Copies of this chain bind each other. A is one copy, B any other.
Amino acid sequence: MVKNQASLQVIPLGGLGEIGKNMTVFRYEDEMIVVDAGLMFPGEEMLGIDVVIPDYSYLLENKELLMGILLTHGHEDHIGAMPYILRDIEGPVYASRLTLGLLQDKLKEHGVSKVNLNVVKPHSIVRLGKYFQVEFFRVTHSIPGCFGLAITTPVGTVVHTGDFKMDQTPVDGESMDFGRLAELGRRGVLVLMADSTNVERPGFTRSEKEVGGILNSLFGGCEGRIILATFASNVHRIQQVLDAAFQFKRKVAVVGRSMINVVGIAQELQYLRVPDDTVIDIDEIGRYAKNRIVVLCTGSQGEPMSALTRMANNDHRRVEIMPGDTVVISATPIPGNEKLVGKTVNQLYRLGAEVVHEASAGVHASGHASQEELKLMLNLVRPKFFMPVHGEYRHLAKHAQLAHKMGIPSNHVFVGENGQTIEFTKDSGQLSKKVTAGQILVDGLGVGDVGNVVLRDRKQLSEDGMLLVVFGMRRGGHILCAGPDIVSRGFVYVKEADGLLEEARDKALQIIERCGEKNIHDWAGIKGQVREGMARYLYERTRRRPMILPVILEV
């Protein structure tokens, strides 16, 4: 059935050396499967971009080889690119009920309907094509319905952890399947691909249940309203909020589009048990005493348009923050969001609320494994080869160091990069060819139409604005017959810069007139003179470098 020399190709297309847009291809001969297809939120330098997805041209080029797409869990960084990919490829897709529920919600929003979705359960084994057999095993993380994957191929088994932590006391009692992992390890695992996000943290990550305990004492000790913000997808956290509210006879009003959405989906799919008579409509909160209210909302990352941010800015239609309120931010800022969260907290204090937000308050637990869990994973699985995944480059590098310290030879550890194929046989692993990989920027309806040129222009415009020099000329002759007019935006405050702009007009006129003396008559040449001359002039006058746009109108 299988040729002797055939090998397994592991091709990461995203998620290595970055947080987000996770995506990996596994290919054997003329068949391939894909694990995850996530998005990433744009960095500051990607001005105006909405989301970033992996360049999936390799998938499109090899469309007919695709046996299936497997989703480990329902977070954006693992499923967010699916609505784009599923426009071009129907699937089949395999994932847990919750992951598919969240995916369907997205697909609806994007108007994608022709898809092939398949629910899998823990212990499910799915045969994909001739070469791949995938077993889904339970892992714990900050969203329910999470799987790790044991992918059996002709050359051996690959264990892919997905995102995980080893929560010994998960909220829903559904522990990670340690037994199965140990068994896989005993039978022999070719490659382990493991989550590296928290490799810098010593010890074990706290159990989600500990957060529940803290929330309970907080809810019990609080005399005013409680406004609690967390990630909408953290269903276990939400469960604990509902339970604590029920215990202390508080009603819960759910606020924020994604929070309402996820609570609805999770409840419908029975991942969330809402205690009787606990949830009320936000418009009803006025009917209850302050110490009977919990507002559960979005905005734990200080996102500008989110419910909590609006409340903090006194700009939410339904909830007005007032002295006596306790705001709980049950999350830690994702790197890059620290300042936004800090701003929200400051505003809340200004309105007189008390804010519980530092990690030290214990109101959040990470969803990713710390060092001791990562070591345990390596010892359970005992793989021949190791590939750290999910993390910025330093996380991958440190996870590789950790694996090496645990006894895996350096040349059996691959710190990969996106697009770099690694080929495995039964007893060898080596770098192989590079395939197209990178990122596709999504801006409005445009998928991939904004690239470096546009971003460079946006950056220049954002820093010093622009200055237009518009004038009319007759085609074929160097005769200025209208203008030049000067228009600027984002450069100086026009109402107070009359003098400067007047001078700039004179300068432009002078430059255009000198083109004749310099024997420059073609329009591109004239524009070049205007661009250079005006840039130099304005920099001298203001030490700013606005974009100079000479426009010649043919009259």
Instruction: Knowing A462-B462, A471-B553 are in contact, say whether A490-B544 is a contact too (CB < 8 A).
Output: no
Q: How far is the CB of A493 from chain B (nearest CB, A)?
A: 5
A-B residue pairs in contact (CB < 8 Å), sample of 18: A17-B350, A44-B44, A48-B465, A335-B338, A342-B394, A346-B392, A443-B544, A444-B464, A444-B544, A446-B544, A458-B463, A461-B461, A461-B465, A461-B466, A461-B489, A462-B462, A468-B468, A485-B551
A496 and B449 form a contact (CB under 8 A): yes
Contact of A462 among B48, B355, B445 (CB under 8 A): B48
Q: Which residues of chain B come closer than 8 Å to A470, judged between CB atoms?
A: 470, 551, 553
Q: Which residues of B contact A487 (CB under 8 A)?
A: 549, 551
**A392 (CB) vs chain B CBs: closest residue:** B346
Determine whether A424 belongs to the interface, using a CB cutoff of 8 Å to chain B. Answer: no
CB–CB B490/A457 < 8 A:
yes
* Number of this chain's copies in the complex: 2
- Report which of B47, B443, B462, B553 forms a contact with A485, defined as CB distance below 8 A: B553
> With A335-B339, A461-B458, A492-B454 in contact, is A549–B358 under 8 Å at CB?
no
| Interface residue A246 (Cβ < 8 Å from any Cβ of B) | no
Residues from chain B with Cβ under 8 Å of A555 in the complex = 472, 481-482, 553, 555
Closest to A554 in B: B482
A505 and B338 CA atoms in complex are apart in Å by: 44
- Interface residue? A453 (CB, 8 A): yes
Q: Give the size category of A's interface with B.
A: 35 or more
**Is residue A397 contacting chain B, with contact meaning CB distance below 8 A?**
yes
Specify which chain B residues have a CB less than 8 angstroms from the CB of A453 in the assembled complex.
493
Chain A 117-146 residues near chain B, CB threshold 8 A: none
Cβ of A465 and Cβ of B472 under 8 Å apart? no
A365 within 8 Å of B by Cβ?
A: no
Do A482 and B549 have beta carbons less than 8 Å apart?
A: no
**With the chains together, A209 CA to B163 CA distance in Å?**
40
| Chain A stretch 529-555: residues in CB contact (< 8 A) with chain B | 541-544, 547, 549, 551, 553-555
19 extra A-B contacts, CB within 8 A, seeds A48-B544, A485-B553:
A43-B339, A48-B465, A48-B490, A336-B338, A443-B464, A444-B542, A449-B493, A450-B493, A457-B490, A458-B463, A458-B465, A459-B462, A461-B465, A466-B489, A468-B549, A472-B555, A482-B553, A483-B553, A485-B551
A350 touches B393 (CB 8 A): yes
Residues of B within 8 A of A30 (CB): none
Q: Mark A281-295, 1 if CB is under 8 A from B, else 0.
A: 000000000000000
Minimum CB–CB distance for A386 against chain B, Å: 17
Contacts of A551 in B (CB 8 A): 468, 470, 485, 487, 551
Q: Kindly identify, within residues 182 to 222 of chain A, every residue whose CB is under 8 Å from any CB belonging to chain B.
A: 200, 202
Residues of B near A338 (CB, < 8 A) are 335-336, 338
Interface assignment of A269: CB less than 8 Å from any CB of chain B? no
Q: How far is the CA of A200 from the CA of B346 in the complex (A)?
A: 13
Chain B contacts for A445, CB-based, 8 A: 541-544
Nearest 5 pairs of A and B residues by beta carbon? A444-B543, A462-B462, A461-B461, A48-B463, A457-B490
Of the candidates B48, B489, B497, the one whose C-beta lies within 8 Å of that of A549 is B489
**A443 to B397 CA separation, bound complex (whole angstroms):** 40
Contact A454 B350 (CB under 8 A): no
Report A329-343 CB contacts with B as 1/0, cut-off 8 Å.
000000110110010
Residues of chain B contacted by A339 (CB below 8 angstroms): 43-44, 335-336
Please indicate the chain B residues that have their CB under 8 angstroms from the CB of A471 in the complex: 553
Please tell me if the beta carbons of B17 and A462 are within 8 angstroms of each other in the complex: no
Instruction: Give the chain B neighbours of A463 by CB distance below 8 A.
Output: 47-48, 458
Cα(A44)–Cα(B202), bound, Å: 33
Q: Is the CB–CB distance between B349 and A492 below 8 Å? A: no
